[in-house]
């Protein structure tokens, strides 16, 4: 390795160590990326440092970015380092996959079945749902799907609600937010499932 290569590696590791220290202190990945971008000559190096600190490789970061790092950098002006970090975080670039147990894996699969039965999902919504599944926010994904339901005329309501009922029965019923609990959402799903089944057990459109 050349001297320049050694120097780049050392600089990259120094940034990664700085990222680790800030993350250990409780700073959010987006904020850390913005702070390091203001210090580093390359904003992508700042993103790489946060990724390395969270155990995410450069190839995986690039896959999640879905864009050329240099072209993306040109979309931001000097002084917008914090916005850059927030943008990357919003794409899920810094998300660390949760280690799901057997029950959670089953729940996640039923939630994916429901998503496939929706009849199409807007790109921003799809990203949010995908991030929730990756990071293990299964109850949040469940409640979100229960609130919106399948698309009228495009989704498969019976399949959608059946998958959600099965997923909801495996989740903590008390898990919730200011918009309701899993138990409340599950009640809605059960009613919708009943409504989606017509005479003779046929699924209503």
In terms of domains, do 131 and 62 share one? Answer: no
| Same domain (yes/no): 39, 126 | no
108 and 186 in a common domain: yes
pLDDT, tens digit, 9 for 90 and up, residues 186-197: 999 999 999 887
CB 62 within 8 A of CB 69: yes
DSSP E strand stretches across the chain: 176-177, 180-181
Q: What is the pLDDT of residues 23-41, one digit of tens each?
A: 999 999 999 999 999 998 7
Domain boundary among 64, 90, 116: 90
pLDDT at 8: 60
Domain boundary among 54, 70, 90: 90
Which of 135, 149, 184, 142 is closest to 167 using CA atoms? 142
* pLDDT tens figures, 100-114: 999 999 999 999 999
Residues 59 and 131 placed together within one structural domain of the fold: no
The boundaries of the domain holding residue 180 are 102-201
Domain count, the chain: 2
Report how far residue 53's alpha carbon sits from residue 94's, in angstroms, rounded to the nearest whole number: 10
Residues 9-27 have a mean pLDDT of 90
The pLDDT of residue 124 is 85
106 and 195 share one domain: yes
Q: What would the pLDDT profile of 115-125 be if each residue is shown by its tens digit?
A: 999 999 888 88
- 47 contact partners, CB below 8 Å, separation of at least 6: 33, 37, 61, 69, 85, 88, 93
The predicted structure's pLDDT at residue 202: 52
Domain contains 97? no
- The mean pLDDT value for 55-84 works out to 93
Q: Hey, how many other C-beta atoms are within 10 angstroms of the C-beta on 129?
A: 21
Q: Residue 105 is encoded by which pair of tokens?
A: 């894996």
Mean pLDDT, rounded, of the chain? 90
Examine the domain organization and report whether 83 and 113 are in the same domain.
Answer: no
What confidence category does residue 56 fall into, taking pLDDT thresholds of 50, 70 and 90? very high
Distance CA 134, CA 91 (A): 12
Higher pLDDT pick, 176 / 80: 80
Based on the domain organization, do 118 and 85 belong to the same domain? no
Cα 9 from chain centroid? 30
Q: Which of 67, 90, 113 is the C-terminal boundary of a domain?
A: 90
Q: How confident is the model at residue 179 (pLDDT cuts 50, 70, 90)?
A: confident
Whether 136 and 54 share a structural domain: no
């Amino acid at each position: 390795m050349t001297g320049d290569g050694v120097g780049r590696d050392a600089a990259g590791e120094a940034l990664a160590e700085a990222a680790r220290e800030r993350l250990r202190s409780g700073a959010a990945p987006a904020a850390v990326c913005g702070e390091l971008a203001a210090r580093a000559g390359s904003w992508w190096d700042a993103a790489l440092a946060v990724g390395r600190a969270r155990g995410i490789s450069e190839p995986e970061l690039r896959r999640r970015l879905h864009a050329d790092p240099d072209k993306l950098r040109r979309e931001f002006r000097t002084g917008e380092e914090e916005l850059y970090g927030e943008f990357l975080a919003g794409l899920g670039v810094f998300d660390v996959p949760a280690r799901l147990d057997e029950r959670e894996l089953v729940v996640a699969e039923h939630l994916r079945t429901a998503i496939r039965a929706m009849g199409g999902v807007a790109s921003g919504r799809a990203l949010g749902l995908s991030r929730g599944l990756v990071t293990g926010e299964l109850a949040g994904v469940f409640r979100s799907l229960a609130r919106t339901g399948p698309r009228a005329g495009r989704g498969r309501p019976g399949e959608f609600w059946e998958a959600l009922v099965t997923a909801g029965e495996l989740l903590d019923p008390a898990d919730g937010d200011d918009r309701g609990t899993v138990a409340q959402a599950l009640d809605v799903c059960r009613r919708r499932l009943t409504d989606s089944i017509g005479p003779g057990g046929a699924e209503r459109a």
